[in-house]
């Protein structure tokens, strides 16, 4: 007998969803049956913790542009979803979470778990999703599935929870009454694209053409709109300075002369230095968040600004842009393109080259370091030399973000670096690798997935490495083991008078993450000295399965520039307690100053 699980699986197939990530419960078994009956067109990947299901769906969506789908059972399944839902909400990732529920008639019994696993799921999920729907009847189901995909993919994309009561999930499917019809516009995000008015485009083009030192700050929105190729073509011609947020990495190849890497306190030194010299900042698909805006010291008072964002609510949050372009990033760039002049700016190009060269010298020394314990730049550099354009690199939320960001250049336009910057939660990388690994398997082009985590982040998701092994995913998990929560350890040291409280994770040479990996069915390699790095990476990258490469790194190594300066001045402690956290002044960006030539 066909049941609603079959109907759901059919609807998912029509939305071109080929993989669903989740953990079974009695309330969702019909869904798993429906998926199993349609294998291999659609498959279910069992994760070991529902948090991972949402993160895996997030990575699937980031890499395919399609909707990431995960499923959880009522109650304790649902309460583990928020990490991934909030990440997707903040990072504008299209996702649908299929959530089990008690039978509809039992809703009054859900309080205090009187009916097993019961809770108010709507109230719980609503604030952390773009929309949450509780399916009220069988006949309403098709429309609510379509609504879930419509809302998830509409600008600005985000996660939607669809709560399906047990009686509806287990009901018979009358194929005459419930028809499988979907809106094919909602397969990918963004489902709709729109551009700004012509007058705004003209004003912005005029500003860019007049600027002497224009800079583009590209965010994750460039990838969300699949606009990296277009942005690269424009930048190749117009040659502004281009920097990106972490999420925007790959918006242009970082190997271009005009590209200066990631703008972030733990990002590229050249980006941080150069951005203050720009006279015009074009925020392109970027929220101008605390990190990308360098603690909102950007834009500076003298910098003209343009904001390009599909979400009208983003324009003017921390400054009034000189020109606001409300529209899809790709549409807006396409409209600007013919109006932009390829005016040579030799002074600006010279400045960019000079600052980049100054930092390149330091970087060359760092990546050649032969010291023991190992310096992370050396590991990242060796990895960079071994990557192909098919590979995907996933960062955990720790200093790994900075190590990847500054030492592994994006060589092609497009999203092949994933960062959980929506929320910045530790423990993203490995679950996301489950999603990315599934995408790589479907693509079948031999691309690998590489995660980089600290020992803290790795510990969050260590159970999930077995999922990678079980599914035969080609994922290399690099654990930069400094035995401590490095970021917090230094924070305590610098700002709380050398405090060392609840930051150490290593004890007596344990945990041994390589040995743990072996025990869980992966290849495990421990690297203790720089001369072992290359062979370890070669072995892991060539391995047709999942591996952990544990690298024992220097606990004093940090990618944060201000922390490095503090390390160079031993004993300097700044009191953090008592700090007043004032809201940065909201500023009005000026028109471009008319400067004399020269
Ligand atoms: C879920 C979560 N809890 C706490 C934090 C705060 N936090 C940021 S970095 C960090 C330390 C991370 O340690 P580790 O993963 O070992 O990496 P390292 O800092 O040593 O590079 C912590 C606790 C966070 N970002 N996410």
Asked if 243 contacts 218 with a C-beta cutoff of 8 angstroms, the reply is yes
Query: Is residue 279 a contact partner of residue 302, using CB atoms and an 8 Å limit?
Result: yes
Please tell me the predicted confidence (pLDDT) of residue 239: 97
Q: Cα–Cα distance between 81 and 53 in angstroms, integer?
A: 8
Spatial separation of the C-alpha atoms in residues 70 and 96, rounded to whole Å: 7
Whole-number Å distance, alpha carbon 422 to ligand 1 midpoint, is: 15
Residues near ligand 1 with C-beta < 6 Å? 397-400, 424-426, 453-457, 482, 485-488
Q: For ligand 1, atom 11, which residue shows the shortest CA distance?
A: 485
Instruction: Beginning with the edge strand found earlier in the chain, give each strand of the sheet holding 19-22 in spatial order.
Output: 43-46, 19-22, 68-72, 95-101, 159-165, 131-134
Q: How confident is the model over 70-91, as pLDDT tens digits? A: 999 999 999 999 999 999 999 9
Distance CA 357, CA 335 (A): 34
- How far away, in angstroms, is 489 Cα from ligand 1 center? 10
Rounded distance from Cα 477 to ligand 1 centre (Å): 17
Tell me the mean pLDDT in the region 216-220.
98
Q: ∠ at Cα 417 (416, 418), nearest 5°?
A: 115
Ligand 1, residue 487: give the atom nearest the CA: 19
CA separation for the pair 240, 348 (Å, rounded): 8
Q: Which pLDDT belongs to residue 536?
A: 98
d(CA 56, CA 596): 53
What is the mean predicted confidence (pLDDT) over 504-517?
97
pLDDT of the residue at 594: 63
pLDDT of residue 597: 40
Please count the residues of the chain. Answer: 598
Contact 380, 549 (CB under 8 A): no
Confidence label for 569 from pLDDT (cuts 50, 70 and 90): confident
CA separation for the pair 186, 151 (Å, rounded):
8
User: Are residues 468 and 539 in contact, defined by beta-carbon separation less than 8 angstroms?
Assistant: no
> What is the per-residue pLDDT for 137?
97
CA–CA dist 459, 505 (Å, integer): 9
Tell me the CA–centroid distance for residue 582 and ligand 1, in Å: 25
* Spatial contact of 74 and 102, defined as CB atoms under 8 Å apart: yes
| Nearest CA residue ID for atom 12, ligand 1 | 485
Q: Please tell me the residue having the least CA distance from ligand 1 atom 18.
A: 486
Residue 123 Cα to ligand 1 midpoint, Å, equals: 29
| Mean pLDDT in residue range 480-491 | 97
Helix (H) or strand (E) holding 400: helix 400-407
Would the pLDDT of 498 be above 60?
A: yes
Judging by DSSP bridges, how do beta strands 304-309 and 241-244 pair with one another?
Answer: unpaired
Strand pairing class (475-481; 547-552): parallel
CA–CA dist 258, 261 (Å, integer): 10
Please determine, for residue 22, whether its predicted confidence score (pLDDT) is greater than 90. yes
For the CA of 83, the closest atom of ligand 1 is 1
Confidence of residue 581 (pLDDT cuts 50, 70, 90): confident
Residue 482 burial (10 A CB sphere; 0-12, 13-18, 19+):
buried
Answer whether 0.95 is exceeded by the pTM. yes
Nearest Cα neighbor of 265 from 569, 564, 578, 480 is 564
Confidence of residue 595 (pLDDT cuts 50, 70, 90): low
Is 94 within 8 Å of 54 (Cβ atoms)?
A: no
120 has pLDDT over 60: yes
Which phi and psi angles does 501 have, rounded to 5°?
-125, 120
The whole-number average pLDDT for the span 286-297 is 94
Distance CA 53, CA 51 (A): 5
- At 40, the pLDDT band (50, 70, 90 cuts) reads very high
Q: Which of 25-39, 209-223, 329-343, 560-574 has the lowest mean pLDDT?
A: 560-574
Distance between first and last Cα of the chain: 79
- Is the Cβ–Cβ distance between 264 and 246 less than 8 Å? yes
Question: What are the tens digits of pLDDT across the range 396-439?
Answer: 999 999 999 999 999 999 999 999 999 999 999 999 999 999 99
Band (pLDDT 50/70/90 cuts) for residue 267 is: very high
* Tens digit of each residue's pLDDT (9 = 90 or more) over 330-383: 999 999 999 999 989 999 999 999 999 999 999 999 999 999 999 999 999 999
pLDDT of residue 584 exceeding 90, the answer is: no
Ligand 1 binding pocket mutation candidate from 397, 406, 431, 505 (most atoms within 8 A of CB):
397
- Mean pLDDT (the chain, rounded): 96
pLDDT at 598: 37
Q: pLDDT at position 327, please?
A: 98
| Residue 596 pLDDT > 50 | no
Of 401, 487, 564, the one to substitute when testing ligand 1's pocket (max ligand atoms within 8 A of C-beta) is: 487
Instruction: Identify the bridge partners of residue 262 per DSSP, sorted by sequence position.
Output: 244
pLDDT at 289: 94
Check whether 170 has a pLDDT greater than 70: yes
Mean pLDDT of 584-592: 88
């Amino acid at each position: 007998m066909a049941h609603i699980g079959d109907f759901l699986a059919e609807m998912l197939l029509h939305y071109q969803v080929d993989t669903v990530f989740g953990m079974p419960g009695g309330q969702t078994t019909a869904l798993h049956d429906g998926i199993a009956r349609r294998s291999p067109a659609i498959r279910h990947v069992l994760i070991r913790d529902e948090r991972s299901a949402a993160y895996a769906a997030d990575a699937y969506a980031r890499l395919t542009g399609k909707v990431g789908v995960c499923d959880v059972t009522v109650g304790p399944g649902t309460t583990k979803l928020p990490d991934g839902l909030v990440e997707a909400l903040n990072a504008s990732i299209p996702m649908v979470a299929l959530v089990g529920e008690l039978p509809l008639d039992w809703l009054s019994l859900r309080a205090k778990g009187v009916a097993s696993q019961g809770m108010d799921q709507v109230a719980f999920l609503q604030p952390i999703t773009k929309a949450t729907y509780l399916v009220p009847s069988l006949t309403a189901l098709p429309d609510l599935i379509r609504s879930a995909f419509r809302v998830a993919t509409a600008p600005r994309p985000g996660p939607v929870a669809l709560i399906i009561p047990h009686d509806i999930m287990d009901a018979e499917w009358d194929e005459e009454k419930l028809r499988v019809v979907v809106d094919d516009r909602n397969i990918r995000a963004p489902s709709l694209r729109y551009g700004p008015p012509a007058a705004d485009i003209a004003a912005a083009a005029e500003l860019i053409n007049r600027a002497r030192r224009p800079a583009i700050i590209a965010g994750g929105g460039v990838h969300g709109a699949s606009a990296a190729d277009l942005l690269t073509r424009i930048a190749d011609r117009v040659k502004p300075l281009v920097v990106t947020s972490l999420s925007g990495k790959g918006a242009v190849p970082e190997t271009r002369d005009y590209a200066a890497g990631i703008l972030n306190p733990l990002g590229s030194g050249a980006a941080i230095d150069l951005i203050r010299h720009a006279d015009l900042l074009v925020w392109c698909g970027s929220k101008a968040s605390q990190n990308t805006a360098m603690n909102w010291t950007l834009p500076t008072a003298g910098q003209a600004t343009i904001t390009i964002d599909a979400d009208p609510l983003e324009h003017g949050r921390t400054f009034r842009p000189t020109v606001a372009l409300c529209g899809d990033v790709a549409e807006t760039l396409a409209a600007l393109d013919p109006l932009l002049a390829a005016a040579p700016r030799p002074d600006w190009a010279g400045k960019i080259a000079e600052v980049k060269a100054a930092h390149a010298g330091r970087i060359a020394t760092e990546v050649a370091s032969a010291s023991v314990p190992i310096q992370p730049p050396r590991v990242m550099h060796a990895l960079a030399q071994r990557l192909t354009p098919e590979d995907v690199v996933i960062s955990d939320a720790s200093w790994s973000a900075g190590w990847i960001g500054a030492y592994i250049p994006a060589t092609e336009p497009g999203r092949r670096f994933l960062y959980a910057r929506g929320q910045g939660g530790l423990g993203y990388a490995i679950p996301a690798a489950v999603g990315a690994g599934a995408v790589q398997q479907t693509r079948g082009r031999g691309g690998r997935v590489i995660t980089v985590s600290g020992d803290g982040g790795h510990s969050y998701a260590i159970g999930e490495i077995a999922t990678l092994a079980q599914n035969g995913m080609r994922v290399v998990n690099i654990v930069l083991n400094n035995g401590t929560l490095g970021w917090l350890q230094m924070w305590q040291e610098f700002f709380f008078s050398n405090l060392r409280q609840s930051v150490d994770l290593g004890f007596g040479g344990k945990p041994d993450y390589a040995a743990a990996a072996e025990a869980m069915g992966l290849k495990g390699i421990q690297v203790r000295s720089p001369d072992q790095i290359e062979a370890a990476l070669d072995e892991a990258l060539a391995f047709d399965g999942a591996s952990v490469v544990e690298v024992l790194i220097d606990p004093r190594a940090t990618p944060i520039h201000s922390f490095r300066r503090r390390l160079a001045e031993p004993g300097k402690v700044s009191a953090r307690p008592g700090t007043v956290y004032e809201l940065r002044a909201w500023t009005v960006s000026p028109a471009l100053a008319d400067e004399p030539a020269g």
